[in-house]
Amino acid sequence: MCTHLLSKKDKNGVVNMANKLYHGAAYYPELWDEQVIEEDIKLMKEAGINVARMGEFAWHTMEPEEGNIDISFFVDMINKLYENGIETVMCTPTPTPPIWYTHNHPERMYVNDEGKVMGHGSRQHSCTNHPYFRKKANEITEHIAKAIGSLPGVIGWQIDNEFKCHVSECMCETCRTLWHQWLEERYETIEQLNEAWGTKIWSEYYYSFDQVPQPGPAPFLHNSSLSTMYRQFSMEKIAEFSDSQANIIRQYSDAPITHNSNIPFSVDNERLFENLDFASFDTYATQENRASYLMNCDLWRNFKKGRNFWIMETSTSYAASLESYASPHANGYLRAEAVAATH
């Protein structure tokens, strides 16, 4: 994590800039025992780390059984870090619902454009529009915000993690129903939709909103308006989900809220950051692809004008990949990243 100065709110809700530069790392203390954690903190201090981001994949640790929510581990971790001069950006753990949520519930899972239902594992395997997902996500978010929102070590929040990084538009039955509702709210009458989309081409004319398909498998290209509007529908829904989590957190914490995004993700970043306090992004660009890093900086400094942005994730020495060869950075590359972000 390589960051600018952090935005903080005063008692009137106005975002001001803290006079401090943060240098930190993503941290997963739920993976380790107490001895390893103590060693980690010692090494963090030696490395000059003064902030840690954590919690984004820890839903199971917080709620190992449905309804049995306990945030005390992270309360203790935040206090322990703070006692050692390390502050925390706390995340909501909603990209990784536990097995109790997914097992025997294919209707809750993400479905890709080929109609394949995702299984449990990895992350982003659930549909974020499913009503039960929203219910459980709101519950865990509120428990976290209540437990740690007033702790002095919490300087910021990250909602979820990399929305729509590994998936794009979901094609499940929940999304189908919401899609038809969204179309009716947007176009009011099916005649207006037909007129706007030019559906007489290829006999694509519709007589009711529930006839309008999702852009799933088809012999050839879909109507471009169908594909474009479904993407917009999906982007609006994920931004609404982000807004709902932010609204819950703000009931219990004054610390500023962000999300870590990037250009290739299937989101509308301008809309996503509209109701968040500051913008941040992830980058694992190689030296050969440094232009993409600079492009991210130019975009993210404009999503919340007048406020600094954060580089929430980057790689210290390699381009970061678990699937293929990752080329090492040249000496000084990380320093160049940090300098480039300030100009």
Question: 231 by DSSP, 3-state: which?
Answer: helix
Catalytic, out of 63, 162, 169, 337: 162
Report the b/e string of 45-60 with b at 16+ CB within 10 A: eeeebbbbbbbbbbbb
Backbone angles phi, psi at 133, to 5 degrees: -60, -45
| Residue 63 annotated in active site | no
| Residue 313 annotated in active site | yes
Cα 183 to Cα 179, 189, 225, 241: the distances in Å are 6, 9, 12, 19
Dihedral, CA of residue 52, residue 57, residue 63 and residue 67, to nearest 10: 120
Cα 204 to Cα 114, 178, 210, 212, 315: the distances in Å are 20, 21, 14, 9, 48
Catalytic, out of 56, 169, 313, 337: 313
Report the alpha-carbon distance of residue 78 to residue 144 in Å, rounded: 12
Active site residues: 162, 313
